[in-house]
A and B are shown apart, each in its own frame.
Chain A
Amino acid sequence: MDDIDRRIINTFQGGFPIVERPFAAAARILGLDEADLIARVKALSEAGTISRFGPMWHAEKMGGGLTLTAMKVPEDRFDEVAAIVNSFPEVAHNYAREHALNMWFVVATERPGRIREVLDEIEARTGLAVHDMPKIEEFFVGLRFEA
């Protein structure tokens, strides 16, 4: 990754043009040409630095459900439980964390009512309690990263 790649990442984590030739418009802002920008974005995607190039959704405005949940998983069952949890397409990400509640995952569904169903299914299949902690108030959603 060179300085131009860093500028691409730092400039377009939002605000990507929605016009007929968006890479040409974006390239002009960076002083690149269109083909070079496309090639660089492809390379960054293939290297895994870019997860995807497109929308970050607002779950509630989309009419869907979204929550953060936590489980207390015995160490010797951790991989087995992680495999069950991750098998649900509604589980968007899942992290092990250092706490008695040691597995934390986000569930995103198209219908709000589906959240409870997913959590019930996970509880039934693992025999473990799932703590549901939906947001009550949102103070900041930045999640931008300087390259």
Chain B
Amino acid sequence: MELSDRDLALVSAIGDGLPLVERPYLAIGEAVGMSEVEVIARIQAMKEAGIIRRFGIIVRHHELGFRANAMSVWDIPDDKVSEIGRRLGDSPEVTLCYRRPRRLPDWPYNLFCMVHGRDRPGVEQAITDLIQRHGLDGHGHAVLFSTRRFKQTGARYGRRKAAE
């Protein structure tokens, strides 16, 4: 799906979230010069095209009680990383899972999983369970807990067109 200028105006208008009113799509439409029907149709189309991964509440996980988060990384041979990545991605403990490039010599790891939990021991236990269940002993591994969060705004889109 190719986004039109009208789509981009809408993207910008909903990027910070919907107004919390009875008819939020009408309010958004008034701000960007569209009818409520058009706003609804365009948001639906973006959702069906997968441009919107999901539509609803975005929580602040820290405020919700998920005080610990670790980036758990492994160095997996390139011919095995996809299969192991799919298995880890299917595990309930894992909230995000990606293959990324190594950056030698500083960074030898190519498989990245995020594990969130209420406290540090819980996250450590979840990672130990993952290693056992998926037979990951023997692969290079590191766990990077976060110590401070500086910023969590989410990606912002649609301002390029708005600025032109």
Which A residues fall within an 8 A CB radius of B?
8-9, 12-16, 18-24, 34, 38, 41-42, 45, 47-59, 61-64, 66, 68, 70, 72, 82, 85-86, 89, 91-101, 104-106, 108, 110-111, 131, 133-145, 147
Contacts and interface: CB of A to CB of B under 8 A. Distances in A.
B58 A94 contact: no
13 contacts: A19-B40, A21-B22, A23-B24, A34-B22, A42-B20, A52-B58, A53-B20, A58-B50, A92-B152, A93-B149, A95-B69, A100-B106, A147-B59
B100 A56 contact: no
Nearest to A86: B151
Nearest to A72: B106
B150 A56 contact: no
B153 interface: yes
Looking at chain B's contact residues, is the secondary structure mostly helix, strand, loop, or mixed? Answer: mixed
Interface in B11-48: 11, 14-18, 20-26, 36, 40, 43-44, 46-47
B85 A137 contact: yes
Interface string B134-164: 0000000010111111111111111110000
B24 to A, nearest CB: 7
Nearest to A111: B160
Contacts of B51: 57-58, 61-62
